[in-house]
A and B are shown apart, each in its own frame.
Chain A
Amino acid sequence: MTHKSTGDRILTVDTLARVEGEGSMRVQVRAGTVTDVELAIYEPPRFFEALLRGRSYLEPPDITARICGICPVAYQMSACQALEAACEVTVPEDIRLLRRLLYCGEWIESHALHVYLLHAPDFLGYESAIDLARDHREVVEQGLRLKKAGNTIMSVVGGRSIHPVNVRVGGFYRTPSRDELSMLLPVLTEALADAVATVKLVSGFDFPDFEQPYEYVSLRSAYEEEYPLESGSLVSTGGLSFTAAEFDDYITEEHVARSNALHARLRGVDAYVVGPLARYALNADRLGPVARAAAADAGLGPVCRNPFRSIVVRAVEIVYACEEALRIVQGWHGAAVPAVPVPPRAGVGHGVTEAPRGVCYHRYELDAEGTVLDARIVPPTSQNQRSIEADLLRFVQARLHLDDHQLTHDCEQAIRNYDPCISCATHFLDLTVERS
């Protein structure tokens, strides 16, 4: 909706579409200068950290999965890692690999959803993927095939793709047989080809000329050949290096009036970015051969600082997740036990994994019976909020000559660069540009 009156211009979009959740955006322009940008999140709070108090230490994987229907595995994995750390238990290698496989499924599903259904329509000039399918049905079908491949991995390993039932503290309820996993081979082989085609498709989009001096933060895996997913310690492009247990020493959250999500700041740096661009900048050397070749063909250098090109990096990560899933399935010989015992113990545990949108941190304090005394969860989108605002501030300033309609569209696209999951951060971007 556009209002025009003499002198002032106010532009509002009641709902920013194609994001997961509800928030609002307000851009204020005074005398030709963007003076303020506020990303407000008014997704109703659901109080997960509070409702976990008094629950059994075996419950957070199922309960925190309900924070987000798009990335439930991220919550399950970070919760398991933190709770196992609190109880001083390490899971065997085969269980770690099976978790990694499940996580590959979530990356493929979530990234394909974002690339094809949420973000690509911006670049191609459509309101939605359904509109896009009217002209380019084969493109959308390719995306849906990829998304389905991710969901298939999650269904085989986790029981279902939304809120998988097979994950437990200590491992799984039942591990799939070699035959069950072998079923995935043809699916993954086709998905890998679709993923490479995706990189090619999206690298041909037009990208605004826009770079930002981001500080990137991601995990770095202790396993030398591996791109970070289910484990690792934190590193930054500025040279910081810290473990999950030190997360609180490096990252602080503050509560601002406009948002039902907390804003995160990195020690000595302030705003920082997590997610595909950060992982790629800090781990490009860990990509598999097919993903590395796809990145090179797409013209990605060692670091990408153009947030609009995150769609390319996301596509490269789909390639990696397909390659990695294939590697795990081909090497699978079954697990000795589906889960190891995790007796409760009084203590504190930290867990950090790479959700599709970036670092997802959990911390639990338990008593000797395993009752949760305190829980803390830092999802990726709340960590990116300050950088989304910083992007918009600069991006809008350089585009004030555009009319409200085009500028609004471009701002929405800039927000979608982050694949913001507002249900996680708490939800609804509606956008206001105020000019005077």
Chain B
Amino acid sequence: MARPKLAVWKFASCDGCQLTLLNCEDDLLAVAGEVEIAYFPEATRGVVAGPYDVSLVEGSITTAADAERIQRVRAQSKKLVTIGACATSGGVQALRNFADVREFTSIVYARPDYISTLETSTPIAAHVTVDFELQGCPINKAQLLEVLTAAVQDRTPRIPNHSVCVECKARGNVCVMVAHGTPCLGPVTHAGCGALCPSYDRGCYGCFGPKENPNAASLGKSLALIGVDELGLKRVFRTFHSADPVFEAESRSHDAQVDG
């Protein structure tokens, strides 16, 4: 039986999530034995024509050309899996959605007329059907291997939807919020990092995005009780997953108090 064909696509992003595949140093050559790496420009000049059994998509849609390109990617992909914060919620570049993109352009570029960009940064699922979304900024290596394995075996990936708090407890950490009054997004954030920040005496900053059914408003109230001001509350929910509907609603609820 022919090996399944894997393609890796990039949209607006930092390359970090596709690098995660190359960072599987112990497993990379084994993966390359199980699947045919048919399209992966960061790693190979070789291109095998589609259709592809599995497409991994990194990055968000920020240009008209990319909005068309993702349609072509979908059309030639049996399974389409998004990897990372940009592809699943628009990424840090979705901060433009809260501003005037023309003003953004003029801040960075001397000749804004040379720049072609959309008003918003949007996740892949806003444009095409996505078969599975793997969260994280960056994604976790072990979870990526699980998603690939599941795709090859034609089953649902076993990726828990619970919060970072569950991982933190399993790791035996003392709660940084309860014990030290450190603001932490763990209660609303998707597991996958292994509760990394609390293990480094830091509050979670939500880089894996929202868990299933997060209660951001409730966490906002708890953060206010330990001294996070309105501007701080707006910022913590408006960074790497600002365009996620739950995080966006929570950050907007603090807009009024901090004048925009």
Are these two chains actual partners, yes or no?
A: yes
CB of A47 within 8 A of CB of B42, answer: no
How long is the Cα–Cα vector from A148 to B28 in the complex, in angstroms?
12
B154 within 8 A of A: no
**B110: which A residues are within 8 A, CB to CB?**
254-255, 262
CB of A69 within 8 A of CB of B14, answer: yes
Contact of A46 among B10, B12, B28, B111 (CB under 8 A): B12
Which of the four size classes fits the interface of chain A? 35 or more
| CB-based nearest B residue for A176 | B200
CB of B111 within 8 A of CB of A130, answer: no
CB of B138 within 8 A of CB of A163, answer: yes
CB of A151 within 8 A of CB of B23, answer: yes
| Residues 179-221 (chain B) with a chain A CB within 8 angstroms | 193, 196-197, 199-202, 205, 207
**B95: which A residues are within 8 A, CB to CB?**
51
CB of A18 within 8 A of CB of B43, answer: yes
Q: When A46-B12, A130-B29, A151-B25 are in contact, do A162 and B45 touch as well, CB less than 8 Å? A: no
A68 within 8 A of B: yes
Binding-face segment, A139-147, A293-301, A329-337: A139-147
| CB-based nearest A residue for B11 | A44
B206 to chain A, nearest CB (A): 11
Contact of B42 among A17, A48, A144 (CB under 8 A): A17
B105 within 8 A of A: yes
Tell me how many residue pairs across A and B have CB atoms closer than 8 Å: 184
| CB-based nearest B residue for A64 | B92
Q: When A117-B43, A173-B201 are in contact, do A255 and B111 touch as well, CB less than 8 Å? A: yes
Q: When A165-B197, A423-B15 are in contact, do A49 and B108 touch as well, CB less than 8 Å? A: yes
| Residues 1-44 (chain B) with a chain A CB within 8 angstroms | 10-20, 22-23, 25-26, 28-29, 32, 37, 41-44
CB of A128 within 8 A of CB of B239, answer: no
CB of B22 within 8 A of CB of A117, answer: yes
Contact of B46 among A128, A137, A174 (CB under 8 A): A128
How long is the Cα–Cα vector from A55 to B193 in the complex, in angstroms?
25
CB of B105 within 8 A of CB of A45, answer: yes
| CB-based nearest A residue for B66 | A44
A53 within 8 A of B: yes
**A260: which B residues are within 8 A, CB to CB?**
115
How long is the Cα–Cα vector from A254 to B19 in the complex, in angstroms?
30
CB of B137 within 8 A of CB of A21, answer: no
7 A-B pairs with the lowest CB-CB distances in the bound complex, closest first: A69-B16, A128-B44, A127-B46, A50-B104, A50-B107, A148-B25, A173-B202
Which B residues have a C-beta under 8 Å from some C-beta of A?
10-20, 22-23, 25-26, 28-29, 32, 37, 41-47, 62-63, 66, 91-93, 95-96, 99, 101, 103-105, 107-111, 114-115, 117, 121, 137-138, 193, 196-197, 199-202, 205, 207, 232, 235, 239-240
Apart from A50-B105, A168-B202, A262-B110, what 15 extra A-B contacts exist at CB < 8 Å?
A: A20-B42, A44-B66, A50-B96, A50-B103, A51-B99, A63-B239, A67-B14, A68-B16, A72-B14, A130-B37, A133-B29, A147-B23, A148-B25, A172-B200, A173-B202
Which A residues have a C-beta under 8 Å from some C-beta of B?
15-22, 43-51, 53, 55-56, 59, 62-63, 66-70, 72, 113, 117, 121, 127-131, 133, 137, 140-141, 144-145, 147-148, 151, 159-163, 165-166, 168, 172-174, 254-257, 260, 262, 338, 412, 423, 427-428
Q: List 29 A-B contacts (CB under 8 A).
A: A15-B41, A15-B47, A17-B41, A44-B12, A44-B66, A44-B117, A45-B62, A47-B93, A47-B101, A47-B108, A48-B108, A51-B96, A55-B235, A56-B235, A62-B205, A63-B239, A66-B16, A117-B22, A130-B29, A133-B29, A141-B29, A159-B196, A163-B16, A163-B207, A165-B205, A172-B200, A255-B110, A257-B114, A428-B41
